[in-house]
Amino acid sequence: MTPILTVEKITKRYGGVVALDAVSVHLNAGEVMGLLGANGSGKSTLSSIIAGDSRPDGGEIHLDGVELAGGSPSAARAAGVAIAHQHPGLAPDLPVWENVYLGAEICSAGRFLNRAAARKNAGVLLESLRPDWDLDATAGTLTAADQQLVEIAKALALKARVLILDEPTAALATAEVESLMRVIRALTAGGTSIVFISHRMAEIEALCDRVVVLCNGRLAGELAVNDRINEPQVLAWMGGAGGGAAAAHMHEARVAEESVKRLRVASNGEVRVALRARGLQAGARLRGVDLDVKRGEILGIAGLQGHGQEELLDTLAGYKKLDAGQVELCGDAITPRSPRQMIEAGVCLVPNDRHRQGLWLDQSVEFNLVQVGVNFEPSAWRLPRLSMKRFVDDVVARLRVKTSDVRQPVRALSGGNQQKVVIGRWLNERIKVNVLLLSDPTKGVDVIARKEIYEAVGTLADAGAAVIVYASDTDELLAVCDRLIVLYEGRVVAGLEGSDMNEAQVTSALFGRSAA
CATH number at residue 109: 3.40.50.300
Phi-psi region of 9 (alpha: psi -120 to 50; beta: other; left: phi over 0): left
DSSP line for 245-307: HHHHHHHHHHHGGGGG-S----TTS---EEEEEEEEEETTTEEEEEEEEETT-EEEEE--TTS
Domain contains 504: yes
Q: Are residues 122 and 78 in the same domain?
A: yes
Domain contains 399: no
Contact 371, 360 (CB under 8 A): yes
Among 90-104, 206-220, 403-417, which is the least confidently predicted range? Answer: 403-417
* Cα–Cα dist 169/75, whole Å: 27
Q: Are residues 64 and 142 in the same domain?
A: yes
The pLDDT, as a whole number, for residue 295 is: 94
Pick from 364, 372, 374: nearest CA to 396: 364
* Domain containing residue 197: 3-250
* Cα–Cα dist 450/477, whole Å: 12
Number of structural domains in the chain:
2
* Cα–Cα dist 165/354, whole Å: 20
Q: Are residues 85 and 184 in the same domain?
A: yes
Q: What is the chain's mean pLDDT, rounded?
A: 86
Q: Are residues 154 and 295 in the same domain?
A: no
Q: Are residues 168 and 101 in the same domain?
A: yes
pLDDT one-digit tens code per residue, 321-353: 999 999 999 999 999 999 999 999 999 999 988
Q: Are residues 304 and 195 in the same domain?
A: no
Among 224-228, 433-437, 492-496, which is the least confidently predicted range? Answer: 224-228
Q: Are residues 7 and 109 in the same domain?
A: yes
pLDDT one-digit tens code per residue, 31-73: 999 999 877 788 989 999 999 999 999 999 999 999 988 888 9
Where is 396: in which H helix or E strand?
helix 385-398
**Residue 180 pLDDT class (50, 70, 90 cuts):** very high
Q: Are residues 99 and 213 in the same domain?
A: yes
Contact 81, 68 (CB under 8 A): yes
**Residue 201 pLDDT class (50, 70, 90 cuts):** confident
Among 200-209, 381-390, 496-505, which is the least confidently predicted range? Answer: 381-390
Domain contains 364: no
Domain boundary among 232, 250, 268: 250
Domain boundary among 250, 276, 301: 250
Domain contains 219: yes
Q: Is the pLDDT of residue 365 over 80?
A: yes
Q: Are residues 231 and 276 in the same domain?
A: no
Q: Is the pLDDT of residue 383 over 60?
A: yes
Domain boundary among 203, 223, 250: 250
Contact 230, 223 (CB under 8 A): yes
Q: For residue 241, give every residue at least 6 positions away whose Cβ sits within 8 Å of its Cβ, in sequence order, or none.
A: none
Q: Are residues 318 and 225 in the same domain?
A: no
Helices 115-127, 144-157: inter-axial angle, 10-degree rounding: 120
Cα Dmax for the chain? 78
